Structure 1
Amino acid sequence: MTQDSTTPSDFATPETTEPTPVVAVVGRPNVGKSTLVNRLIGRRQAVVEDTPGVTRDRIAYDAQWNGRRFTVVDTGGWEPDAEGRAAAIAAQAEAAMATADVIMLVVDALVGATDVDEAAARVLHRAKKPVIVVANKVDDARAESDVSALWSLGLGEPFPVSALHGRGSGDLLDVLLAKMPTMPSADQRLENGPRRVALVGRPNVGKSSLLNQLAKEDRVVVDSVAGTTVDPVDSLIELDGETWQFVDTAGLRKRVKQASGTEYYASLRTQSAVEAAEVAVVLLDSSEPISEQDQRVISQAVDAGRALVIAFNKWDLVDEDRRYYLDREIDRELKRITWAQRVNISAMTGRAVTKLAPAIRTALAGWEQRVPTGELNQWISALIAARPHPVRAGKAPRVLFMTQAGIRPPKFVLFTSGRLDPQYVRFIERRLREDFGFTGSPIAMTVKARERRGKPGGRTPSR
C-alpha cells in the first residue's frame, strides 16, 4: 500500500440531509480512534489526547470522500466485562456497532492483537456486517511487517494506516466506500431541518441525564464524576410532537483561554455548539447556589445571540428553605436576564421535562419576532413624549428614527441627534420588552448619532 495523506480539500461538508451510510469506529481504549476519525472527516473535530478514555459517548460527524457522503461515529474504548463508567462507555460502543452499516475495528499495530481485540473480533463476527480491520500507528514501511499478524482476528485483510500522519488513509477510504451500502434517495429528506437546541451548563448539572430522559433511552454516558462528556453529542429527539436536534455539550469549568488539554478543546467544541444552535438551554443545579460558572455559561449564550431557556434542574432536591434562598438568588444574580424563559425540572425523575418544548418554542418565537417600522416609530415617539431624555448641558438628544435591522436575535437601530445615556437606552429596551414581548431572546440595540463637524456618531450596544 502506497503512502498517501488526505487533505481537507478532499472533503466537503454535506449540504443536504439525505440519509447517509454510517461507519462506526470501535476498538479498545487509546488505539487512536479519535485521531482516525479526524483523518477520515478531514478536520480536527474529535477531541484527542494521550490519555485513555477521553471519548465517552458515540459522536457522529459528517464526512465526504470522492463525492460520496457518509457519517462517521466515534466511540469510547470498548472492553469486555467492563464495570461502572467503563461499562456505560462500552454500551455506547456496542450501540454504535448495532446501528452502523460498516464497522472499523482499530487495532494498535505496534502492540498486536490483544485479548480485548480478540474479544471484539468475536462480537463483530456475530454482527454479520462489513468489518474493516484498521492497523493503526504504522508510520513507515518497516512497521508493515507487524500487520500480517492481525489476520488472526479472522476479519479479513488488515489495512495499515497512520492516523496521525495520514499514511494510507486515502486507500482506507477507498476500501470503506466499496463496503458501503447504497442508501435510499432523497425522498426521505426533511424539507426543513429540526431546530437546534444546545444543552449547556457547568459540569455535573445533569445535561446528559436530561438528554437521556428526553430521548427515553441512554443516548449518552452519565456518571457522577464531573466532566464525563467531552465532545458535543447530537441527538434527534421527538418531543411534544416535533423533532428537535439536541446537542449535549461538555461542562464549562474555565474560560477557553484559561483551559488546557482536553478541557481546552472541549470548551471550543461547546462554544461552537452554542453558536451553531438556535436556542441554548442552560442547566443550573437548583439545589446549589448560583455560581460564577453559571453566570459565565449564561453570558456565553447571550453573547452568542441565542434564544435562552434557563432550566433549574434537580428540583426534586429542593425543599422550602432552598426555594426561599433560590428566589432571592434569582432576583440578585439573574436580574439582567429577567426576559429568559425559566422552567423547574428534574432530569432524574422526569419531573416537568414536558415543559421544555413550550419554553423553547416561546424563546424561538421571541428570537424571530419582528415589529413593523411604522408601528415601531409610533411607539418610540409616544414613549419619548411621555418620558423624554434627560437634559445634559442644556440640551437633550432627540430620537429621529427607529428601525428593526434584523432578527435571530432582534436587532434595533436608533438614529438620534446626539449620544444617548446608556441608562436611557436600557430604559427603551425594557419598555420595548414590556410592550412587544421578545420573551426568551436577547436584544441588540445600537445608537447612531447624527454626525456634526466631522465627528463620527456614537454607538451604544445593549443586550
Structure 2
Amino acid sequence: MTDSTDGTWEDESEWEVGDPDSVDDDEKFSGPPPVVAVVGRPNVGKSTLVNRILGRREAVVQDLPGVTRDRVSYDALWTGRRFMVQDTGGWEPDAKGLQGLVAEQASVAMRTADAIILVVDAIVGATAADEAAAKVLQRSGKPVFLAANKVDGERGEADAAALWSLGLGEPYPISAIHGRGVADLLDRVIEDLPTLSEVTGGGTGGPRRVALVGKPNVGKSSLLNRLADEERSVVHDVAGTTVDPVDSLIELDGKVWRFVDTAGLRRKVGQASGHEFYASVRTHGAIDAAEVVLVLIDASVPLTEQDQRVFSIVIEAGRALVMVFNKWDLVDEDRRYELEREIDRELAQLQWASRVNISAKTGRAVQKLVPALEGALASWDKRITTGQLNNFLKEVVAATPPPVRGGKQPRILFATQATNRPPTFVLFTTGFLEAGYRRFLERRLRETFGFEGSPIRINVRVREKRGAPRR
C-alpha cells in the first residue's frame, strides 16, 4: 500500500520542481494577502463584479460567509498577485435607511480592507447613498477606486464621466456583466495594493487592537469604562462622524491597547430592523479590525445561542480569543456548578480559549485580562519551523495513521506553516483527510506547541498522481 519506511510518511523530495501545488510554491502562503472591499448600494452590480474578478481566473478557494451574509470574502488571483475580495452585498435595507446603511458599510470597509472599490450605476448616476458612501471613503486614507458600472459602449462614457462629482477621482467605466474595462480597473487596483495586508495581520506597528463584543447587556460598556476610568489613562478617542467607528486608546499595565469600535456597538438606532443590521455590521467590523477579541458573557444567566454565534464569528474571522465571564459578583455556588456544565456542553470546541471570570461592576479580576490578551496574541503570532512541524507529524502519524478511505490509506507527504495570525498549516497528502483526523491533529498540535487563545487552521492539499492530466 505504501513504499515508505514507516507505512505513512514520504519525504518531500518526491515533489516535482515547479509543480504549482508543491511546497516550492510557498510564496502563496507567506502572509495574509491584501483585502479589496467592493462596496455600493444594492443592485449596482457588486456581486457581478466580484464574480467577474473571480470567475475569469477560477481562483475561488474559500467562501467565508457572515451571519447575514453582509460580507463574504474570496481568495483571488490577478496577474500573479494574490488578494482577498470582500463582497459587501447581501442586504436589502428599506429605502428610508439606505443612505446611512451604505455609509456604515463603507465605514466598515475602511477598517477591514487595504483598498476599496465603490461601485456606482453609471446609468442611474450618483444618488444620495452614493454621495454618503463617497464622503466616508474620502476620509479613509485607503486607495479608493470608483467603478462606473453598466457602461456597455461609448454612449455610457459620458454617464461615467459625470461621476467625477463624487470627488473620488477618475471613474473607471466598466461593464461587470460583460467584462468591459474590468481588467484595466484591476490592473490599477493591484498597483496600489500592499504585498501583505496591513489590516488583517500584515502590519505590526502601533498598539495591539482589541474588540470588545458580546450580546446586549453583558456589560461591554461597564468593562470599557472600568478599564478607562480606573486606570485614568484614556490617551485619546479617535472619532469621526455619526457613522464612523470610535476607537479608544487605553493604557493598561504600562502598555497602550486600542479598543476598536466599542462605542459604536452601544449606539442606538431608531428602527428595529435597522438596529439589527447596524449591530451585525458593527460586530463584524469590530472583529475584522481587531487582532484579539474579548467575548463578554453574562455568567449569571444560562449561555444562549447568541453567545455561541459570537464565538463562531470570531473563529471564522481567525482572531485570537479571550472568553470573559462577567457579572461574577452575581454568581453563587449553584450557578457556578451549572455554568461549568453549560461550558462543557455548549463550548466544548473552545477548550483552547483563555477564560477570565470578572466583575466589571466591582473590578474583580479585571487585572487578569492583560495577561490573557498577551497570551492569546502570542499564540496567534506563533510560527513553528518546517523542521519542527514535520518531525512532530512523523511521530504522530507513525503512532496514529490517518483512517483508510475508499480502500486506501492517505499519506501525509509534507507540511508547512503557511502563515500565522491565525496559525495556518498546509498538509500535502496523497488523499483526503477526514474531518475527525484533522481535529485529532489540531489537538496534538495544541498539546505540543500550545496555541492557547488562538484558532488553528489546517488545510489539506491532495497531490495529483504523476502523469495525471492537469486542468
Q: TM-score range by the shorter chain?
A: 0.5 to 0.7
Q: 2:427 is matched with which residue?
A: 414
Q: 1:336 is matched with which residue?
A: 349
2:432 and 2:345 map into 1 onto residues whose CA distance is 30
Length, aligned pairs only: 278
Q: 2:442 is matched with which residue?
A: 429
Q: 1:442 is matched with which residue?
A: 455
Cα shift at 1:264: 0.7
Change (3 A) 1:62 1:348: farther
Change (3 A) 1:233 1:455: farther
Q: Could you list the runs of 4 or more consecutive aligned residues of structure 1 that deviate by over 6 angstroms after TM superposition?
A: 61-65, 217-220
1:59-70 map, 5 Å:
none
**Which digits, 9 at most, give the CA deviation of each residue in 1:93-147, with x for residues without a partner?**
xxxxxxxxxxxxxxxxxxxxxxxxxxxxxxxxxxxxxxxxxxxxxxxxxxxxxxx
**Which digits, 9 at most, give the CA deviation of each residue in 1:194-244, with x for residues without a partner?**
111000000000001000000016999xxxxxxxx9975311101111000
Q: 1:96 is matched with which residue?
A: none
Question: Which of 395, 400, 407 matches 1:387?
Answer: 400
1:311-322 map, 5 Å:
311-322=324-335
1:251 and 1:321 map into 2 onto residues whose CA distance is 32
Q: Which segment is superposed worse, 394-403 or 339-348?
A: 394-403
Q: 1:197 is matched with which residue?
A: 210
Q: 2:220 is matched with which residue?
A: 207
Q: Which has the higher contact order (CA 8 A, sep 6+)?
A: 2
Assess if the C-alpha contact under 8 Å between 1:237 and 1:246 holds in 2: yes
1:208 and 1:62 map into 2 onto residues whose CA distance is 26
Partner AA of 1:327 in structure 2 = E
1:427 and 1:202 map into 2 onto residues whose CA distance is 32
Structure 2: segments with no counterpart, 5+ residues: 1-39, 41-98, 110-134, 142-165, 168-203, 235-241, 267-271
2:468 and 2:419 map into 1 onto residues whose CA distance is 29
1:42 and 1:318 map into 2 onto residues whose CA distance is 39
- Normalising by structure 1, what TM-score? 0.54
2:430 and 2:108 map into 1 onto residues whose CA distance is 49
Partner AA of 1:357 in structure 2 = V
- Normalising by structure 2, what TM-score? 0.53
Correspondence 1:366 to 2:360 = no
**Which digits, 9 at most, give the CA deviation of each residue in 1:59-97, with x for residues without a partner?**
xx99978x9xxxxxxxxxxxxxxxxxxxxxxxxxxxxxx
Q: 2:252 is matched with which residue?
A: 239
Question: Which of 283, 289, 292 matches 1:279?
Answer: 292
Q: 1:307 is matched with which residue?
A: 320
Q: Which segment is superposed worse, 425-434 or 233-242?
A: 233-242
Instruction: Report the 3-state secondary structure (helix = DSSP H, G, I; strand = E; otherwise coil) of the residue aligned with 1:346.
Output: coil
1:21-60 map, 5 Å:
none
1:364 and 1:416 map into 2 onto residues whose CA distance is 30
1:410 and 1:335 map into 2 onto residues whose CA distance is 20
1:404 and 1:359 map into 2 onto residues whose CA distance is 24
Assess if the C-alpha contact under 8 Å between 2:410 and 2:431 holds in 1: yes
Assess if the C-alpha contact under 8 Å between 1:307 and 1:442 holds in 2: yes
Question: Which of 320, 338, 348 matches 1:325?
Answer: 338
Partner AA of 2:321 in structure 1 = L
Instruction: Report the 3-state secondary structure (helix = DSSP H, G, I; strand = E; otherwise coil) of the residue aligned with 2:209.
Output: strand
Instruction: Report the 3-state secondary structure (helix = DSSP H, G, I; strand = E; otherwise coil) of the residue aligned with 1:260.
Output: helix
Cα shift at 1:455: 8.1
Cα shift at 1:44: 5.5
**Bigger Rg, structure 1 or 2:** 1
Question: Which of 369, 383, 387 matches 1:356?
Answer: 369
1:299 and 1:42 map into 2 onto residues whose CA distance is 21
RMSD across aligned positions (CA): 4.0
Structure 1: segments with no counterpart, 5+ residues: 1-7, 9-34, 47-60, 68-168, 171-190, 221-228, 253-258, 458-463
Assess if the C-alpha contact under 8 Å between 1:202 and 1:251 holds in 2: no
Aligned sequence identity (%):
61
**Which digits, 9 at most, give the CA deviation of each residue in 1:4-49, with x for residues without a partner?**
xxxx9xxxxxxxxxxxxxxxxxxxxxxxxxx99x99x996679xxx
